[in-house]
Amino acid sequence: MPGTKPKRKKAARPRDLRTLRGKTILVTGGAGFIGSNFIRYVLGRYEDIRVINLDKLTYAGNLDNLADIAGDPRYEFVRGDIRDAAVVAGILGRVQGVAHFAAETHVDRSILSGGEFVLTDVHGTYTLLEAVRNAPGIEFFLHVSTDEVYGSRDAGFFKETAALNPSSPYSASKVGADRLAHAFHVTYGTPALIVRPSNNYGPYQYPEKFIPLFTTNAMEDQALPLYGKGRNVRDWLHVEDNCRAIETVILRGETGQAYNVGANDERFNIDVAKRILKLLGKPVDLIKFVPDRLGHDRRYAVDCRKLKALGWKREVDFEAGLEETVRWYVENRNWWLKIKTKSAEYKAFIEKNYGVRS
Ligand code: NAD
Ligand code: DAU
């Protein structure tokens, strides 16, 4: 009718294909940064969920990350290696789903020595997939991959169909794991779901990674070692947005498919470093330009429309999320001070990685 606007149909919210209600799930690497945030997230959201956390407690695994939920009757911790087929098989008999986070994760460490990355990220994932293949009753195997599998690009965004072109021993190992999960779906019908998130930030991130390292160094009036000219670009995603994305893919993702997860909010490293200093009231001259990371990917950027079509959207704005994160490190000084001052392993890595740069 002239003068009246045609009514727009509201897009229907995609329906859940699976449920986490009443389920027991295995979370691997749950004592690490994202895994611990994910366990806290699902226990808070699903009253009747049960979680078994299988973690080897490498240098990056820290039970302090879960201190507030350790006594929750719905939570159980098993110290073990994802490469231990017997341990994995024993747990799989008691669960209906797997969220697989366990990995060696730091690019700089993989440049110094890549062997553990191949063993854990590739062979560990293979061991889990083999065990899932032989365990009836597993409804999903959610594999946490990374946006680094695509490699770097100066402009535009990678869709999930783009060729994988990893640059570091870390990202190459993650490609191996990502494609194994896919291959098990194609070959054996394993209900694999893959997420490829961008750089996460938030509470409980090990202080070797950029944001916690720079925040805690600045708090101690120590130099912030910025690689190259600080002109590399990362797309920062709050860990809670990533947890929501993983939940979305578990509930509504199509098995065999990969889903990019990003905030589409790109920043130069130097701008993030300056922002951290501003939030802490520290001088810009704490930034120290140091020799670049070998093979340093200039920019990561992923197209997230496929995930958004499942009903996910970013909720945490970077400025607010960074402020809240910096505050968390200020308020939880003992958490990171314990690592930075008491861990011989941490000190040895810092010396190895930064000693040669100074
Ligand atoms: P993290 O390094 O903080 O934690 C890794 C955890 O895995 C630790 O608790 C460690 O003890 C455990 N682990 C390592 N090897 C193990 C093994 N063989 N058996 C059992 N447990 C083992 O890592 P994170 O930053 O929380 O990353 C989690 C996952 O998300 C990884 O798969 C990583 O590749 C992926 N990812 C991380 C980011 C990020 O920005 N942090 C972004 C995209 C993808
Ligand atoms: O993109 C997802 C990936 O993000 C994950 O798969 C990895 O597990 C995770 O570690 C992260 O990799 P990055 O290499 O991007 O993150 P990192 O925090 O190590 O570095 C972020 C940027 O900051 C990168 O461009 C390198 C730079 N940097 C980092 C450190 C530790 C510095 O300039 N100085 C530093 O000391």
Q: Is 331 a catalytic residue?
A: no
Q: Is 105 in the pocket of ligand 1 (CB under 6 A)?
A: yes
The answer to whether residue 162 sits within a structural domain is: yes
Whether the Cβ atoms of residue 103 and residue 174 lie closer than 8 Å to each other: yes
CATH code: domain of residue 114: 3.40.50.720
The answer to whether residue 216 sits within a structural domain is: no
Query: Minimal CA–CA distance to 318: which of 280, 273, 265, 275?
Result: 265
**For residue 349, which ligand has an atom nearest its CA?**
2
The answer to whether residue 310 sits within a structural domain is: yes
Q: How many C-beta atoms surround the C-beta of residue 304 within 10 A?
A: 26
**For residue 295, which ligand has an atom nearest its CA?**
2
- How far is C-alpha 217 from the geometric centre of its chain's CA atoms? 22
Distance CA 242, CA 233 (A): 19
The answer to whether residue 64 sits within a structural domain is: yes
Q: Is 117 in the pocket of ligand 1 (CB under 6 A)?
A: no
How far is ligand 1, taken at its centre, from the CA of residue 32, in Å? Answer: 6
Q: Is 170 a catalytic residue?
A: yes
Q: Is 128 in the pocket of ligand 1 (CB under 6 A)?
A: no
How far is ligand 1, taken at its centre, from the CA of residue 282, in Å? Answer: 31
The residues of the chain scoring below 50 in pLDDT are 1-2
The answer to whether residue 14 sits within a structural domain is: no
The answer to whether residue 82 sits within a structural domain is: yes
pLDDT digits 0-9 by tens, 140-170: 999 999 999 999 999 999 999 999 999 999 9
Position 1 scores a pLDDT of 42
Position 356 scores a pLDDT of 85
**For residue 235, which ligand has an atom nearest its CA?**
2
The answer to whether residue 228 sits within a structural domain is: no
**Residue labelled with tokens 């341990």:** 87
Q: Whose alpha carbon is nearest atom 32 of ligand 1?
A: 101
Whether the Cβ atoms of residue 197 and residue 99 lie closer than 8 Å to each other: no
pLDDT digits 0-9 by tens, 263-321: 999 999 999 999 999 999 999 999 999 999 999 999 999 999 999 999 999 999 999 99
The answer to whether residue 278 sits within a structural domain is: no
Position 308 scores a pLDDT of 98
Whether the Cβ atoms of residue 35 and residue 60 lie closer than 8 Å to each other: no
Position 9 scores a pLDDT of 67
User: Which of 100, 105, 170, 269 best tests ligand 1's pocket when mutated (most atoms within 8 Å of CB)?
Assistant: 105
Domain that holds residue 56: 24-205+238-264+295-317
Position 3 scores a pLDDT of 52
Counting the structural domains of the chain, the total is 1
